[in-house]
């Protein structure tokens, strides 16, 4: 009779041990997608050179005849993955979508040059080079954005909460950490764009550009 009693105890307890042996909320497999939005330039010729240079929020060359303003932006969207066990909710990330691009891309050309003029066309051609540099930068830095985001995600661990109302707080924390990891890279991209643009707006380039037309 004692042997039978002990057997029943073991039978009842063993499923609990088996359940506890199942890994729960220890890791997450997150898919990272990076998309680029190069944007379309908007050409504005309603201001004088003095007026539009006041709009510049960074250094510009004294030889600038036009002005291209772009601000790189990286946005992060996350999709949670939830698992439930014995009243516990495991909060992880199933997908992270990152979009990098330019919400606005504005090209200013001095209003004293009509669109049909040689001067306007020459300035526009030069500013389009700045536009191309900005758009190509997205393709160039895309692998870096994906790498930094993936590294940040690898350092994250899923969290256990006990009610649905707690889920979004954890999801927002994940998103904030990924955003924080990307900020230095975004600053680096801005710096490199400024360097590339400065290399274009040289005195030699100014002389070559103004030599094309006569009515400056």
CA 142 to chain centre: 9
Report pLDDT for 12: 41
Inside any domain, residue 65 = yes
In a domain, 192, yes or no: yes
Give residue for tokens 């002990």.
6
- d(Cα 28, Cα 79) in Å, to the nearest integer? 12
> Over the chain (216 residues), what is each successive 10-residue block's mean pLDDT?
42 40 80 94 94 82 88 94 94 97 94 96 95 96 97 96 96 97 95 90 89 91
Farthest-apart Cα atoms in the chain, separation: 113
Residue 92 belongs to some domain of the structure = yes
134 found inside a domain: yes
Q: How many domains does the chain have?
A: 1
**Is residue 2 included in any domain, yes or no?**
no
Q: Which domain holds residue 86?
A: 24-210
Torsion of CA 182, 183, 187, 192, to 10 degrees: 0
Give the integer Cα–Cα distance in Å for 160 and 136: 42
The answer to whether 37 touches 100, Cβ cutoff 8 Å, is yes
Does residue 182 lie within any of the structural domains? yes
97: in domain: yes
Q: What is the pTM of this model?
A: 0.80
pLDDT of residue 22: 52
User: What DSSP character marks residue 113?
Assistant: S
């Amino acid at each position: 009779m004692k042997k039978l009693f002990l057997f029943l105890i073991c039978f009842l307890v063993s499923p609990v041990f088996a359940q506890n042996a199942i890994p729960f909320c220890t890791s997450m497999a997150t898919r990272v997608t990076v998309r680029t939005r190069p944007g379309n330039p908007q050409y504005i010729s309603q201001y004088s050179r003095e007026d539009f240079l006041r709009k510049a929020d960074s250094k510009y060359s004294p030889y600038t005849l036009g002005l291209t303003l772009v601000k790189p932006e990286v946005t992060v969207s996350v999709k949670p993955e939830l698992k439930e066990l014995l009243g516990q909710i495991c909060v992880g990330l199933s997908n992270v979508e990152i979009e990098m691009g330019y919400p606005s891309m504005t090209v200013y050309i001095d209003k004293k040059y009509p669109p049909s003029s040689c001067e306007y066309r020459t300035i526009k051609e030069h500013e389009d080079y700045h536009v191309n540099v900005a758009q190509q930068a997205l393709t160039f830095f895309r692998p870096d954005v994906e790498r930094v985001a993936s590294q940040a995600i690898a350092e994250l661990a899923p969290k256990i909460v006990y009610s649905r109302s707690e889920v979004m707080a954890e999801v927002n924390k994940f998103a904030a950490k990924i955003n924080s990891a990307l900020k230095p890279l975004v600053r680096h991209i801005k710096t490199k764009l400024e360097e590339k643009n400065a290399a274009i707006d040289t005195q030699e380039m100014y002389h070559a550009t103004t030599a094309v037309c006569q009515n400056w």
